Chains A and B, each alone.
Chain A
Amino acid sequence: MSVFLAILWKDLVTEWRSRDRITAMLLFSLLVVVIFHFSLPGGATRDTQATAPGLLWIAYVFSALLGLNRSFSLELENDALSGIALSPVDRGWIFLGKAASNTLILGAAQGVTALVFGLVFEVDLAAIALPLAGVVALGSVGICSVGTLFAAVAVRTRFREVMLPLLLLPLLVPVLLGAVRATAGLLETGALAFEPVQLLLVTDATYLIVSWLVFDFVLDE
């Protein structure tokens, strides 16, 4: 547990010092909003609000990919990852620490992105803020769980920027489905539908447990 907190603390402090990950993710998300506006036939406005949930989650996934890659490329400098691997604890805790910091950093970017989306698509975010935050959190846990696991893998391959999306996207379909449906439901009715949330919970639990169990093998040499 203390190792989990130590890694979480270290990642957050490192990120705070440079703020490069969060800046890149934010900038990227904002760019994506602009591009979406140009690629939608009617532009990004109230009229095309139905497309907003899907687009929002696309923006989230791609910005998560940026952040995930970076979280481990930092560990490769000076072989710091070995330093972490030396810790005399179950390596599942190491996974949890990294996944938690990734989720939090992604969460910060997601909050701002949601605001911008809300502005552009003229959604009344205040009314659905809390449940929306819940859905975003569940979705992020799903993305960052299996995402952290495979970021640790991808970053040590020859084609790391390409490898992570290729590995991750098919596995994220259940997360995306649940998250987009839940978000769309919220926008339409203001209430959370049970099924998407159930899907998210099942997927998150599965991915968290499996990642915890196999992370040891990923850190091994």
Chain B
Amino acid sequence: MPTATLAMPWIRRSLRTSGLILAALAIAWAVLVVRAPIDAMQGVIQKVLYVHVPCAFSAYAGFIGTALFSALYLWSNDERFDRFAAASAEVGVVFCTLVILTGPIWAKGTWGHWWAWDPRLTVTLLLWFVYLAYLLLRSFTEGSARTARFAAVYGIAGVLAIPLNYFAIDLFGGAAMHPDNLERGSLGAGMGWPFAVGVFTGLAAYAHLLLLRTDLESLRAEAIETGQPPGA
């Protein structure tokens, strides 16, 4: 009798830890953001960046995660990696959507227009398309093994899009309008910590959601396999 295979009980145990870490970081971050000084030139709208930047880190973490898990899946043929890949893409797309939504909000408040074709923005948009296509591919393919394999191939190709597109758009794209405020010194005093904590919070959120989503898939697989509710 095939064992309730490939269910991953360790995920459930880890969820508690990751949830706690996330909660702690989120509270710290919220406090820091509220207390951070208001930017002299940009006004309060600048605080949107405290959300925008961490989301961007998490979005890219999601995409790189998908590519990594995809490669691991192809190499090992172990379906657990595929579950992580799919979860990572979903989480990544959510964060990427937040990036694309918060970006224009900030842009309108500071540059004066909603959109600009600068390299980072454009590449992030393209990546968003790639990962939506990844998710669509998964839902339109029949047969789970085939779905996993096709998605894995696309996940790897998609991550190549990051450097290639940066290279391409840098050569020709619009003026770089993205503030390069990740270097020390160009940030105002009191802004470094909220950003740093924010990024960690974002990554913790990515990790927690990844585990959560993968756990869901594992439970589903277990339920289907044993014909019983999980944990029975």
Contacts and interface: CB of A to CB of B under 8 A. Distances in A.
Contact of B171 (A167, A199, A210, A221): A199
B133 interface: yes
A214 B156 contact: yes
Interface in A185-220: 195-196, 199, 202-203, 206-207, 210, 214, 217-218, 220
Contact of B137 (A157, A173, A181): A157
Q: Describe B's contact surface by its main secondary structure.
A: helix
A218 B153 contact: yes
B157 A166 contact: no
B150 interface: yes
Interface residues of B, number: 31
B137 A178 contact: no
A156 interface: yes
B126 interface: yes
Contacts of A42: none
A153 B165 CA distance: 23
A214 B153 CA distance: 7
Contacts of B141: 156-158
Given A174-B164, A178-B168, A149 B136 contact: no
Contact of A174 (B140, B142, B167): B167
A159 B140 contact: yes
Nearest to B168: A174
Nearest to A216: B74
Contact of B126 (A149, A173, A220, A221): A173
B57 interface: no
Interface string B105-127: 00000000000000000000011
Contacts of A202: 164, 167
B172 interface: yes
Nearest to B143: A221
A111 to B, nearest CB: 26
Nearest to A160: B140
B21 interface: no
A171 interface: yes
B140 A163 contact: yes
A122 to B, nearest CB: 26
B145 interface: yes
Interface string A133-175: 0000000000000100110010011110001001101110110
Given A156-B146, A167-B133, A177-B172, 6 more contacts: A153-B154, A156-B141, A157-B141, A171-B158, A181-B172, A202-B164
